Structure 1
Amino acid sequence: METMAKDTFLNRKTTLNLGGKLVDLRPPAVMGILNLTTDSFYSKSRTATVEQALERAEIILKEGGQFIDIGAYSSRPGAADVPAQEEKEKVVAAVEAIAAAFPEALLSIDTFRAEVAKAAIEAGAHLINDISAGSMDEAMFETVAELGVPYIIMHMRGTPKTMQQNTSYQHLMPEMLDYFSDKVSRLKKLGVKDIILDPGFGFAKTLDQNYLVMQRLQELDIFELPVLAGLSRKSMIYKFLGEGPEGALNGTTVLNTMALLKGANILRVHDVKAAAECIALVHKTLEQ
């Protein structure tokens, strides 16, 4: 396992250009979740005001988070729709406040809307995290190319409201590889240089399919691009263990460890300190 993980890092692109700052994802980085919505599936991640967002940002940074992922649209199944203007206003206000208070913070914007992404980057954010990989807004790819920022693309079918009715695959991993191949090719043709792949744990996948993706995560190595693992307190953990989101931290750490051993470069989490410790211990073990 040690050899495989080291080989993965040797072959894979691990640097990102964030506003002229070159960031190396070796060792892997923690992305702390900051939800500007009262509709997130995990109640402790919710922030309702700019002041609460600043408090959450400070915690993320103090606990070892390198990225802060700011979102104002819940992607949980059955979540309420958020008008684009409302999403944009919330995101821009948070970005401006956090960028002013913590200029060292690397800010990611969790949105599938091009207009929200553009406004957030112009307000001081550094990269875009799109759960739909451009499929929910046809202007997103060209917007990302125009902005010249790193772009996280996730594997999903349908929308957050319909994704759990789209879990029928003939061969899940080959279909995921085809999905990413098409997206990456189109983005590179537009001149997008920094692309991060997210296999989309919990999105358009059954519980068993999520564990299949984990088992075969290293098949994404073919793209030689950074990989983000978003496993934090998800139902694939707590439903299997007979818990709720509040009881899923230990399971999250176990699966984060597995993702790191299979080459993940970014862990997107609610519990930053636990993830940072996980990375430190795995990295220490592999460097021996």
Structure 2
Amino acid sequence: MGIRERRAADGDDRAAEVANAVESSVVNGLLVQAHTATFENTHHHHAPWRPPRSAVIAAVVVLVVAAGWFLLEITAPTPPEPGEPVAQVGTATAVGGLEYALPEPLGPGAEYDGLLDTSDPGYHVPSDTRYVPVGQTTVSFLVKGNRSTPVQITDVKPDITQRRPPLAGTLLVYPPPGNEKTAIDLSAGLDDPRLIVRDPAKPDTRWFSEHRVELAKGENQQFSVTFFGKLASYSFRIVVDYIDGDGTAGRLTVSAEGGVPFQVTGKPVDGRYGTVFLPNFPAGGGWHPCGTLPTDVCVR
């Protein structure tokens, strides 16, 4: 039974209780008056008994008060639940592929020298948000239901806030990963004007046209979406559309840490960058400017 059906049933039960109570009060009051009047008629032979005006007024007052209390209880609005029907939990994370680009060529300096440092054998994803993933970026985020009735997620899709030519200043190339394989749950092509989130196995089908996601209160759902972009440099946020238990549509916007958009860039049409850094892997750590070794391929 839905919540509205339960309220209706509760209202019918309450109405029956109030009606019975009013009827009992009025009848008992009139019976007492009748008994008293009969006793007086037996001894004094008065005219036929009629209920005193005070008894009628008392019965009417009881009826009015009870009816008002009943209407107040039935029509009292349910207090609103705090917060939005769907909320983001924690911070969304974004991880690119093997290449990152800067809008400008990276010249000599501390940052340049840091890339050439071979003492650190590890290759860490750049924390500087100026480095934009090339080709693809995978965004993972967690949402939570926040209503006593289930909330239905109806769609997840990108919202492009800026579209520019592909970044061609600096390219930072990472070595391929080991045996690790990143799981891809959903994907979206930013070059596709439909901007649909899809199952990678069904690139032309919107995932939410075949699936439903419902969140009970306190229930979490993890989403991991890989966004592809080849024709431009994109800045975007993710929007999560939903319908709450009352049928009201809403939207949650997911951004990167600090509220900034996510980013991904395509490659220059001619494949040429101002500066390209290639990894020294597997010979060592760090990077070297492309062209240092005869085997370097600088047009990407």
Taking structure 1 as the reference length, what is the TM-score of the superposition? 0.25
**Larger relative helix fraction:** 1
Taking structure 2 as the reference length, what is the TM-score of the superposition? 0.24
**Larger relative strand fraction:** 2
Bigger radius of gyration among the two: 2
